[in-house]
Structure 1
Amino acid sequence: MQENPHPYLKSRPLLPQKWPSNPPSNVVVVGGGIVGASLAWHLAHETNVTVVAEHPGGVATPNSFAWVNAAYDNPKFYYDFRVRSMKHWAEIAAEVPGLPLHWGGSVTWSMPPDKLEQYEKEHEAWGYDLVRVNRTEISEIEPGFEAEYVPEWGLFAGGEGTLEASVAAQQLLDHAVEYMGANVIVNTVEGFVKSDAAEEDGSTKVTGILTKDGTEILGDHVVLAGGLGSVPLLATEGITLPVNGRQGMLINTKPVAEKFLNTVINSDQLHVRQTIDEGRIRAGADYSGGDPGDNPQGDADELFDKVKAVLVGGDDLEYDYYTIGTRPDPEDGIPILGDSGLDGLTVAVMHSGVSNAAIVGELLTKRIMTGVSDPALVDFQLDRFNKGE
């Protein structure tokens, strides 16, 4: 659907027109989730792109709650980065018809009042679109949420949104293929192809990837955006990627035509939203999705009971399925973007990929194609984990 412009939307800055002497004429992107799809889409504006992915649309991406926001326990530089990504998602939506992106905002009361107030003061000082709302105002924003579960007050963030991430990833890939000549290959990447001749400093350059069936796919540059799959791939080159997997459960109702929710609700009991494309109610036990435990179906049933209880008319909802996604979490919670330690290979691994994918695609494309690195990327380099050793 075509959505209203994002409130932060400004004109998109163009990439510099002065290209380096040898910008890559062929780039290989490993990974077809929302991050890999955004990278492929941005790169395809500038060069020839081949995407290699075992699952176009992603592995973690389809199991994401997919809340587009800039909030929650982030240092200022990361908050700024996420705000830029929110702006850029709106710009992308203007170019890709029907991108399932909706700026409905969110209402939050997931923290103790003192923590919520601290969060409010900090983010207001940073200029975030955040307003304190009382019980009556929350019920006016979300009349479909049962009044007995509404707190005395919460925070409304009007500039936040949701994205049907796996659908959007596929749309970005399709758009890159249809209008910019990109190529998508469904295969499993098992290693890298490197130049035979050593560079002046004794290193070798990555010149492509090797698939499970032994096929070599060559390129002038490779971007590794394979989520948790990036960890063993870099390990084949002796490079440690400090990223762990964190599981989270989400439940989904069957599609409904009725409008239950206008925003993302991030409450002290659960986080819940209604999907844009099918009208499903999607919920997790907390913002991160909740640990599925040893009895996932039992946990899913319990979570569905909570959803039915907090929504007006919730008893009419029908349970459909649960998902257990494994998020790629860098050890310090900050995305890893940029140099991998191998010439010719860029890495992009993070949670939350849905919020960050837009700006990651734009800034890494600029870096790869022009050699110009946006100052914001300095805080996201892999080598930060080696400093101080």
Structure 2
Amino acid sequence: MSTSSLLADVGAGTPPIEAFLDEAVQRRVDGVVVAAVDVPDRMLEPLLTSGAQVVTVGSPRHGTSTDVVSSDDERIAADAVAYLHSRGHRNLGIISGPVRVAPGSARLDGYRQALRDHGLRPFYLRGVFTSAGGLCGRRSVGVDQAVRVDARVVNVLSSSVSGDLVVVGAGIVGASVAYHAARAGAAVTLVDAGRPGGGVTADSFAWVGASGVRKGPAAGLRATATAEYHRLGAELPGLPVTWSGSLSWTGQDSAPDAGPGQTIVDAATVAALEPALRRPPEWAVWAPGDGAVDSVGVAERLVAAARAHGARVHLDARVTAVRRDAAGRIAGVETAAGLLSGATVVLAAGVATAALGASLGVRVPVEPSPSPLFRLRAPAGLVRTVVNTEDFDLRQVAADRLIAAADSPERTLAAVRSTFHGAGGVELLSTRLGARPMPADGEPIVGPVAEVPGLYLAVMHSAVTLAAAVGRLVARELVDGTVESALSGCRPDRF
């Protein structure tokens, strides 16, 4: 006897559920397993009338006669409270899920009763059964603030993260999120209007450094940049990263204090590090741990690795809208080729993130910031490190190629020729003007959007520097359900 199966993703809302159930009736299926908690009884009546066997996963249904596979959600919640209490925890909160469905209400009942039994005060928030909904709930009850003091956050009652994740943007940040989430086991769809790294990622100078004095909400995140790229390089051998170190100097007479990972070096040391310099400065800041990446090459490797872990990749497919279901939850994204369903959507689309957010009534305070990048023909080995001066940021990217980040191609060309021996024949090959996504306060915007369950933002300046770290942390939040303290200063609700 041969059998066949139909599988339907009903996470996008009621119309797809009805369409699937209607098709099941038309095909005269022998049986249906319903594993969605919010399917109304009325929708099952045509199936039952047709003679099909129906099994529901969850709590018993009072309006229909179906077989049920269920768990004792009330007992599970009570046991979880008892376990945490036995381990010495006393301030116990719960994100219960929607109380209109049985799992949410049963868990809340078990939680409340168990806290009464132990003489504790209940502290709960009603959420939705999505990853971003859970993250928003945790932040609302103060988890982000708690982890700054105590990183031992216990997570027992969270539902499994919705497996269908859509990442909008295959630049280096979106590619990193897609790779890390797919590697962690999520069902990932990555969509981009162009090619991997084809947007502002391609216009980045791509200096990766964790050295120096760091301030601001993302200081801890930036401090991990080089370590995260070393980790990523171990996972993806051959990743195009060059660890050359960086040299920085200005025209000031006295050197600044060295920050973490930095050393103040004299002219002789500078000359040894950069032999082609005409006039080595009296001092320079040497950061031996710094490096640079081929940003497009890294994005391409991340996308290929995400695909190898099962991600579906849609390139040259512009997202025209982000869709919500009848309950206001994220349902996926619309493209010219149709709807790409997903219960969670990560917007990592650079400056386009603002417009996509605005279509949902969400303000994303990001503006385009000009990013000039010049490509130069130069002798092999002219520049050996990442060089940062008042005139330019400069590094060698191939035997006969330099790239420079500066304001004027003419002034940059003149400065390079006057700074290095053997640079008289250096030529300007091309000029690109990218548009970096610059948040209003200069800090990354990373995290769930409370007013749109299922929406998650990942947009920032220094995207290349932070991509390896941010991709891993965002994947942990969305796949594992953690709340990452390193991202606590980057949340969208700070605006």
After superposition, residues 181-192 of structure 1 pair within 5 angstroms as 181-186=310-315, 187-192=317-322
User: What is the Cα deviation at residue 220 of structure 1?
Assistant: 2.4
- Identity across matched positions, percent: 32
After superposition, residues 278-293 of structure 1 pair within 5 angstroms as 279-285=400-406, 290=407
SS of equivalent to 1:316:
coil
* Large movers: runs of 4+ above 3 Å: 16-21, 71-74, 110-114
Q: Could you tell me whether the CA contact under 8 Å between 1:34 and 1:58 is conserved in 2?
A: no
Residue equivalent to 1:48 = 187
Cα gap change, 1:370 to 1:175, in 2 (>3 Å) = closer
The TM-score normalised by the length of structure 1 is 0.82
Query: Does residue 1:345 correspond to 2:467, yes or no?
Result: no
1:169 to 292, 299, 316: 299
SS of equivalent to 2:218:
helix
User: Where does structure 2 lack aligned partners over 5 or more consecutive residues?
Assistant: 1-153
Query: Between Structure 1 and Structure 2, whose CA radius of gyration is higher?
Result: 2
1:308 to 406, 417, 421: 417
Cα gap change, 1:19 to 1:176, in 2 (>3 Å) = farther
Residue equivalent to 2:87 = none
After superposition, residues 2-41 of structure 1 pair within 5 angstroms as 20-41=158-179
Q: Could you tell me whether the CA contact under 8 Å between 1:335 and 1:351 is conserved in 2?
A: yes
User: Where does structure 1 lack aligned partners over 5 or more consecutive residues?
Assistant: 1-15, 199-203, 291-298
SS of equivalent to 2:256:
helix
Structure 2 Cα separation of the partners of residues 129 and 371 of structure 1? 33
User: What is the Cα deviation at residue 172 of structure 1?
Assistant: 0.9
Q: Which amino acid aligns with 2:419?
A: V
Q: Could you tell me whether the CA contact under 8 Å between 1:70 and 1:79 is conserved in 2?
A: no
Q: Could you tell me whether the CA contact under 8 Å between 2:211 and 2:261 is conserved in 1?
A: no
Structure 1 Cα separation of the partners of residues 223 and 156 of structure 2? 28
Residue equivalent to 1:90 = 230
User: What is the Cα deviation at residue 76 of structure 1?
Assistant: 5.5
SS of equivalent to 1:88:
helix
Q: Could you tell me whether the CA contact under 8 Å between 1:251 and 1:304 is conserved in 2?
A: no
Query: Does residue 1:142 correspond to 2:274, yes or no?
Result: yes
Query: Does residue 1:260 correspond to 2:392, yes or no?
Result: no
Aligned residues: 338
Query: Does residue 1:375 correspond to 2:451, yes or no?
Result: no
Larger RCO (alpha carbons 8 Å, 6+ apart): 1
After superposition, residues 90-169 of structure 1 pair within 5 angstroms as 90-110=230-250, 112=252, 117-118=256-257, 120=258, 123=259, 128-147=260-279, 150-169=280-299
1:49-78 CA deviation, whole Å, 9 max, x = no partner?
111101221311100000001357741652
CA RMSD of aligned residues (A): 2.2
Q: Which amino acid aligns with 1:103?
A: W
User: What is the Cα deviation at residue 317 of structure 1?
Assistant: 2.9
Q: Which amino acid aligns with 2:182?
A: A
SS of equivalent to 1:129:
coil
Q: Which amino acid aligns with 1:262?
A: R
Structure 2 Cα separation of the partners of residues 111 and 366 of structure 1? 44
User: What is the Cα deviation at residue 366 of structure 1?
Assistant: 0.5
Cα gap change, 1:42 to 1:130, in 2 (>3 Å) = same
User: What is the Cα deviation at residue 131 of structure 1?
Assistant: 0.4
Q: Could you tell me whether the CA contact under 8 Å between 1:30 and 1:222 is conserved in 2?
A: yes
Cα gap change, 1:328 to 1:166, in 2 (>3 Å) = same
User: What is the Cα deviation at residue 306 of structure 1?
Assistant: 1.9
Q: Could you tell me whether the CA contact under 8 Å between 1:31 and 1:58 is conserved in 2?
A: no
Q: Could you tell me whether the CA contact under 8 Å between 2:172 and 2:463 is conserved in 1?
A: yes
The TM-score normalised by the length of structure 2 is 0.65
Structure 2 Cα separation of the partners of residues 86 and 259 of structure 1? 24
